[in-house]
Structures are given as structure tokens and as C-alpha cells.
Structure 1
Amino acid sequence: MPRVDIPVTTITRDGVAGAAEVTGDPANGHAVANTSGRTVLVVSNSSVDTAQDVTLVTQATVDGQDVADRTVSVPFGETRYIGGLPEGVYGREIHIDITSADLSFQAFTFPR
């Protein structure tokens, strides 16, 4: 099955309402548009006792070698804001792998 899309909300000077939250899908993973590295991914962990990992899949190579994926640990009951993900490393669409449905996602971007 295809990855579950995380819609991106553009932040404006007039302000925006919070973005819709997408529940984690460990079976299919997720994808979010990467707007020239300006995308901010908000990851919340609803677990009451377990930290959860979010793996951001890289799409770059250096000298023919794959660049290692980035893993971010989200402590139980907390939220992490992840951003500054260059297109040259993560692509125009960031692929996200998880192992728990305790995670939920929102995504924001800033206009140029």
C-alpha cells in the first residue's frame, strides 16, 4: 500500500489554525511534501511509558554510498518539532517510517 500522506499547512502572517493530526501507520509509513527544506514536522507520542522512534528516510548518496537515515526519538507523552530537512538529502517528499501507532503527525511550512 502507498504511504499515508501528511498534509502540509502553510503558516501565514495572519495566522492559521492547527493542522489536522494524522495518526501513525506503522504498516505503511508516511510521506510529507518537503518545501525546499522549509517543512516542519510535528510528532507527538501518546504512549504513557515508551519512547518511540521516527525514521526519516534519506534519498541521497555520497560517492555511491547511501546517506544514513535520520532517527529521532520522541519521549513518551512528548512532542518533537523536526525541520530543516534539505531536499538534496530527503527529497521533495520526505518518507517517514515508524513502529508504533502511538505517534501522530502534523506538518507546517513557511512561505518564501
Structure 2
Amino acid sequence: MGALSAQSVAVSGTQPTYAAAGASGDTAPVGDRLVLHVVNGSASTVTVTVATPGTVGGLAIADAAQAVPAGGGAFIPLSTVYRDPVTGRAAVTYSAATDVDVAVLHLP
């Protein structure tokens, strides 16, 4: 499991650095204007799941899942609703990690 760091996006543009998705998942910072950019270079759709550790009225809140098509990409907002109370970070898992790259971007 990798600990992803946020990269600031400059108003003039940024060429981010991507990391390979962790086979057992990753953790990411959460907060305003933070997004996880997922690039799926594989030949199959990959589902990215962000754990939602909270509850409402004692009932668990469903995790957020985003399907990323083969050869496509997705932006997933990393709001504070995903903050794990122990680590302070979001827990992210992937249905498959081969040929999947990720970056956490802090938008201006």
C-alpha cells in the first residue's frame, strides 16, 4: 500500500508525476480541491473504491466506487468525508492495479 502525496497544479498548468496503483491499495490526503486522477492503461475496466468510514444514525455510509474504462481516466474528489479517523487519510483500492497509474492533484 502506497502513501500518495498531493501535487499542486499551477494556474499556468502542471505536468504531474504518476505512481503505479498499489496492488493492495493506496492512501491519499483528503481536503478541499484535492482529486485523485486515475489513468487506466489496461485492456479492462478497473473499479476504484474510496472507503467512506463514517456512519449516519449508526448505519454505514456506502463506499464510493468509480469505474474507469480501459484506456480511459477519471477524476475522483477526495473530500473530507473519506478521512479515516485513525490515519487522517483516504483508503483507496483498485479491482486491478496492473497498468493503472494514479496522482493526487491539488487544484488551484
Q: How does 1:17-96 map to 2 (within 5 A)?
A: 18-26=15-23, 28-34=24-30, 36-48=31-43, 50-83=44-77, 85-87=78-80, 89-91=81-83, 92-96=88-92
Q: Does the CA contact (< 8 Å) of 2:34 and 2:79 recur in 1?
A: no
Work out the CA distance in 1 between the residues paired with 2:11 and 2:21.
30
Q: Taking structure 2 as the reference length, what is the TM-score of the superposition?
A: 0.84
SS state of the match for residue 48, structure 2?
A: strand
- Report the AA paired with residue 58 of structure 2: G
- Report the AA paired with residue 108 of structure 1: L
After superposition, give the CA deviation of every residue in 1:5-49 in whole Å (9 maximum; x if it has no partner).
122111233443x222111122x2101111x2321111011112x
The sequence identity of aligned pairs, in percent, is: 24
* 2:1 is equivalent to residue 6 of structure 1: no
Q: Taking structure 1 as the reference length, what is the TM-score of the superposition?
A: 0.81
Which structure 1 residue ranges, 5 or more long, are not aligned? none
